[in-house]
A = this chain, B = another copy of it.
Amino acid sequence: MSTRPSLAQLGLDTGKKARLHRILHQHGLRNGTALFLPYDQGFEHGPRDFFANSAASDPKYVIRLALEGGFNGVVLQVGLAEKFYWDFAGELPLVLKLNGKTDIPGDGEALSPVHASVADAVRLGADAVGYTLYVGTPAQEQDFAQYRQVRADAERLGMPLIVWAYPRGSAIKDKGGKDSFYAVDYAARVASELGADVVKVNFPHPEKQSGAPGEYSTTFSTQEAIDAVVRSANRTMVLVSGGAKAGDEAMIDKARQSMEAGATGLIFGRNVWQRDHDDSLRFVERLREVLAKYDSRP
């Protein structure tokens, strides 16, 4: 079992440390682990994601769920943050997602355009910002250009930067796909090299090797793979994404392996709110039981 580094050991300046302390030690289990509720799927995938549980179409329902479930924060795009966060301001940390895109056009040259600023996040009392970086996309140049501004603003304003490190683009498809061990491992490293404070990754699939560089062609257990990903991220804290809804046991196992590897926490959306209210809370309770075993207080 790897140990999570304490906030004092991450090379953070005062503002970032203050905000991450609030997220990790004054919300959720208050033990240095994190459970985030992302809620931008209405934008990224469209309202079809709410058909499984139409209540989840209402941002107020979802934010309240995050509060009831004892999450460490909720992730919103600027429009929902402006209209809904006031009601809960300060009760639950807000992560303002600064870019996003619809899934209507294809993903070959994926780019997630910025439509809100770090200053918007400050103005709304957010405790972190989120940025989707499409590692491997042919649109890398524009991606890095807008990322650079976000990173510099986050630096200047002491705002923690969470990078959604998503392998994407045609080349990724040819090298094992977006959730291959190769792709996830590379994405985690890129986020840390580019200055992310926290990186959100998908759980790596070591069996997806077709087209990936030779180093990834031997047999790895999933535990070995996620261990490597956390190691690649070094002082960038790792959040493991739930992705599309799947079986609960598989999810819990993924969570356990991630925490065992030294990840700081989980970011689960559809697996949480694509079911009815009480069932959501029961599932969240199981995730919290996992996190509770990895107390990371200094």
Contacts and interface: CB of A to CB of B under 8 A. Distances in A.
Contacts of A196: 79
Contact of A106 (B111, B120, B171, B216): B171
Nearest to A19: B125
Contacts of A111: 141
Given A113-B141, A115-B151, A193-B80, A122 B169 contact: no
Contacts of A67: none
Nearest to A86: B14
Given A26-B26, A79-B236, A189-B42, A105 B14 contact: no
Copy tally for this chain in the complex stands at: 5
A281 interface: no
Contacts of A290: none
Given A104-B171, A105-B137, A231 B57 contact: yes
A122 B123 CA distance: 10
Interface string A123-165: 1110000000001111011101101100110011110000000
Q: Identify whether the interface residues of A are mostly helix, strand, loop, or mixed.
A: helix
Given A14-B124, A43-B190, A47-B228, A235 B83 contact: yes
B232 A104 contact: no
Nearest to A137: B105
A180 to B, nearest CB: 12
B193 A79 contact: yes
Interface of A: 7, 10-11, 13-22, 25-26, 40, 42-43, 46-48, 50-51, 54, 57-59, 77-87, 89-91, 94, 100-102, 104-106, 111, 113-117, 119-120, 122-125, 135-138, 140-142, 144-145, 147-148, 151-152, 155-158, 167, 169, 171-172, 175, 182, 185-186, 188-196, 213-216, 228, 231-232, 234-236
